[in-house]
Amino acid sequence: MRHLLRVGVAGLGTVGLAVLALVERQAASLKARAGREIAIAAIAAKERKERGRDLSAFQWFDEPAKLAASPDIDLFVELIGGADGAALSAVEAALSSGKSAVTANKALLAKHGMRLAELAERNGVALGFEGSVAGGIPVVKTLREDLAGNAISRVYGILNGTCNYILSRMEAEHLPFGVCLAEAQKLGYAEADPSFDIGGADTAHKLSILTALAFGTRVDPEAIAVEGIKDISLADIDAATELGFRIKLLGVAERTGAGIEQRVHPTMVPRSSAIAQVMGVANAVTIDADAVKELTLIGPGAGGEATASAVVGDIVAIARGLRTPPFGVPAAALKPLARAPIQMHEGGYYIRLSVYDRPGAAAAIAARMAERSISLESIVQRRPPGEYEKPAAVPVILITHATYEKLIREALAAVVGDGFLAEPPQLIRIERG
């Protein structure tokens, strides 16, 4: 049996403490699985404070980079967070000193993934990041290793538990967005500044990592078209229910004739689909491939135990001697990724308009759509319940057949210019499965 693997952990938040507990609790099992003993030898954090457990048995480092370069550890785990600063310098220090590193930091990988992958390969060490996407769901290993014999056409999913929780609560309890967001913050699912989650940036970072793994491209979150969920209203939730859909924030990467199309946006998905059943803070990832057809992975997308499970899985793989290129192929072989135009959307679109109740308004809207050959499946005027007097504006819902995003946006811009709308239009893509 090989010698002890000494692990250094930087960052003692929820995930870091869960990693310490998991390695301690599963020590015998990990030894059997890895063929060697695994132990936490040293730790690092910004400040020495009470953390609910005795940490005196571990060697303490005040600076993560010093821990990463220390000869007293064999593998470095970064759980600090942030795209730059201490997290970046510490991972670089570990890889440069010939140590493998494990991180759950999607922001770090989205910004510096290529550079870190090249550094790991140059020094003959591993860079594990299973915990960076979808928490405890083993999607990184699935794409990088288990589906190596497949040509992947699309990968998409629910990648942010905060947004999924908010949308689930809005539907289940008919509560407005602001109330559900406040509850998410109270429960610790959302930060005091939730813009990174509800604006879609967190999902975009994770999607950029999945895209690189699925399609052999360079990690580039700037190539992703991003929309968040802050404009989703109860009117949209109710309309989705009536139409047989649920609204989910999806990250989608798809191979098209023009390249790899990447997008993050609210989407109406059929209530009968597997991804529509994923409620609360759970995540789900669906992979479309030629050999396995459709594969959906569902599980906890965040939380100390779930992410710690992924981190420890990486530690065991490295302990066994696995040295796979971080993104499945050598970093030098990863192709540059240009932003591909959003293609024909096969599921069509849901459009909600608040239309002034004036003669000719409906005909003008239909004409603007027809000018761009946009075929309408249905037009529904929804007078608000309990309205006995004629309102100044009424909700009108349009469902289109398949069309191009560019044409839809041009038509809506023209409708806005005609002056018939009381507020900006709402546009949500429909995925029919």
Give catalytic residue positions: 206
Instruction: Decide: residue 405, CB within 10 A, 0-12 exposed, 13-18 middle, 19+ buried.
Output: middle
Contacts with 77 (C-beta within 8 Å, 6 or more apart), sequence order: 7, 8, 9, 10, 19, 101, 102, 103, 311, 315
- DSSP designation for 149: T
Q: Inter-axis angle of helices 85-96 and 106-122, to 10 degrees? A: 20
The pair of structure tokens assigned to 237 is 């939730």
Location of structure tokens 């922001």: 107
Tokens linked to 276: 């529509």
Spatial contact of 343 and 404, defined as CB atoms under 8 Å apart: yes
CA distances from 60 to 49, 258, 362, 385 (A): 12, 52, 69, 63
Q: Looking at the DSSP assignment, which residues form a beta bridge with residue 65? A: none
Angle at 143 between CA 137 and CA 146, to 5 degrees: 95
The strand pair at 293-300 and 393-400 is best described as unpaired
**Interatomic CA distance for residues 354 and 426, integer angstroms:** 9
Tell me the C-alpha distance between 222 and 205, whole Å.
9
Angle at alpha carbon of residue 229, lines to 228 and 232, rounded to 5°: 140
Place of tokens 């979808």: 134
Using DSSP, how many helices (H) and how many strands (E) does the chain show?
Answer: 14, 18
Rg (CA), the chain: 24
